[in-house]
Amino acid sequence: MALGFGDINEELSFRKEWLATVQTGPLVGQLIFAQDDRGNFYTADPESGAIHFLSRSEFGYCCLASHFNQFLEQAAAQDFKVVEWAEAQHLVPYAGEA
């Protein structure tokens, strides 16, 4: 499987500009790899591979998948309505800035 920069369903954007490391809070050290059309971030844990959703409007987060392939499989199962899927999850309050 190959994945490059671009958009999924015109709502989730994979761009070089989004690549950054979370500096504070519970997701510190994780790589921000995508941003959705509402400004939320999607991160990958370099140690475990887990994929997290970081809501900027509610300032909370949740784990979406245990690894990137599972994230893509679950996104496909949701008909690539990633924002709707992510925002339906229970969020834990985030302490720190993304």
> Mean pLDDT, to the nearest integer, of 8-37?
79
d(CA 54, CA 30): 11
DSSP for 63-76 reads EEESSHHHHHHHHH
pLDDT (tens digit per residue) in 19-31: 788 999 999 999 9
pLDDT band at 63 (very low <50, low <70, confident <90, very high): very high
| pTM, full prediction | 0.81
